[in-house]
Structure 1
Amino acid sequence: MKSLGKYIIFIATLFVRRESLGTYVRLVFDESVKIGVNSIFIFAIVSSFMGAVTTIQTAYNLISPLIPDYVISLVVRDMTILELAPTIMAIVFAGKVGSNIAGELGTMRITEQIDALEVMGINSTSYLVLPKIIAALFMYPMLVVLAGFLSIYGGYLAGTLTGVITGTEFIYGIRYDFVEYNITFALIKSFVFAFLVASISAYKGFFTEGGALEVGVASTSAVTNSCIAILLADYLLAQLLL
């Protein structure tokens, strides 16, 4: 409870003694490149193979002649939109971006750069952390959309190239009985997960104590706690919104 209270106070301090709007615009753009653009490659690789493997394994298990082939792509579509793209990729996001945020802020803490900002009268929490959270809220939903598209496209390529399903049947299954709300649900989850990963990682890095060894510990703790928060939030959002 002590850590939770400290985390809530940490979040509240993001919105006091803020800098000028122009300062935040520049910082958010810089963080967007580090958080979003630099994560495109790993997201593309993971999501593409994730969709391909899901297609092959679904086809392997649906061996009944009573089940039409288009069910394969239907399963891939719903799994991708509801869980694989927003949730599984959030774990990748925590490992890629969360550890970077915690390591960066932890290094700034032990080298007393954060203390120097405070001495100059700058709210270091707002100046350093708020742009990271805003950039994550902007970029992660875009990465989820990219991951969803590449996952389904990877499944299409794997299915057609291996002959487990034809291209026509795959596209028919993608369109069959589509629920538009699933897209909304996935985007809501992406915003929540982006906030959790960015804020928890920043919290762990900001309050790092010790030396270089503790920076590594903070990065590991940031990823671990972010993953736990993602899974808990995933369950709660499923209960509340579905």
Structure 2
Amino acid sequence: MNAVLRWPMDTLASLGRAVLFLFQTMLAVPGALLRPRLLALQIYHSGLLSLAIIVIAGAFVGMVLALQGYRLLVQFSAESALGVSVALVVIRELGPVLTALLLAGRAGSSLAAEIGLMRATDQLDGISMMAVDPVPRVVAPRFLGLLIATPILNMIFIAMALGVAGGHLVGVEVLGVDAGSYWSQIRSAVDAGDLIDSTIKSLVFGLTIAWIAVYQGYHAAPTAAGVSRATTTTVVLSSLSVLGLDFVLTAAMFAA
């Protein structure tokens, strides 16, 4: 019985520590903005180094959606609506969600491993011994870099899925859908609200992934097994959190 009660209590205690760590990190974010070179380096590591997987994934997602959508729409002689079907699915759902999942596996795990190795090799303790708080110096720039990179990569994912390398390539060049109809249908159906909702989702997902990654890395056990566990936990928790938050945000946006 004690073990059954201990698990939820330990989970709540861990969640409380994570929330306090998030507040501590957010308070250190303004200081990170005063270090533009360090912040730019973190955006490079989290964003630019993830660009290839985002571009490739976006292109293939757009091509698959165009193939599947055309197969369905042609049964109702509505293949001219292919652009709308691809655009709404990508902008509202697949863009922010898949971008976040890919970043969780690539950038989130990298952040957790990097900070965890700094813990395992006593670098964080060394910074503390020099009377420097590791959170503003180490955690905040990495947190902010991933947060900034996420909506940018989301827009690139959407552009690749809808553009020349994705839905347009398959729908127009391969399946023969009229190019003017493809883009005019997208312009008439997609408005600024869809892009704003997509950006909001990507910001929430980016904050969640960055929070989990820096927390797991900062509090990793100073061993090889501890760093490995922190990296794995980051990917699992980030992925599940993104999917759960997507449902909550979609329900809220749909109700609005």
TM over 0.5: yes
CA RMSD of aligned residues (A): 1.9
> What displacement does 1:70 show?
1.9
Counterpart check, 1:209 vs 2:221: yes
> 5+ unaligned residues in a row in structure 1: which ranges?
none
Match for residue 5 of structure 1? 16
Moved over 3 A (4+): 15-23
- Secondary structure of the 1:209 match is coil
- Secondary structure of the 1:165 match is coil
**Alignment partners' CA distance in 1, 2:195 and 2:24:** 33
Q: How does 1:38-187 map to 2 (within 5 A)?
A: 38-65=49-76, 67-153=77-163, 154-187=166-199
What's the TM-score, normalizing by structure 1?
0.93
> What displacement does 1:16 show?
5.7
> What displacement does 1:210 show?
4.1
**Alignment partners' CA distance in 1, 2:169 and 2:31:** 49
> What displacement does 1:240 show?
1.9
Distance 1:190 1:94, change over 3 A: same
Q: Which amino acid aligns with 1:190?
A: S
Q: Which amino acid aligns with 1:113?
A: Q
> What displacement does 1:137 show?
2.3
Distance 1:20 1:125, change over 3 A: closer
Contact 1:19–1:127 (CA<8 Å) still a contact in 2? Answer: no
**Alignment partners' CA distance in 2, 1:214 and 1:20:** 29
Higher helix share: 2
What's the TM-score, normalizing by structure 2?
0.88
> What displacement does 1:17 show?
7.4
Identity of aligned residues (%): 26
**Alignment partners' CA distance in 2, 1:76 and 1:130:** 37
Counterpart check, 1:31 vs 2:42: yes
Counterpart check, 1:224 vs 2:236: yes
> What displacement does 1:129 show?
1.2
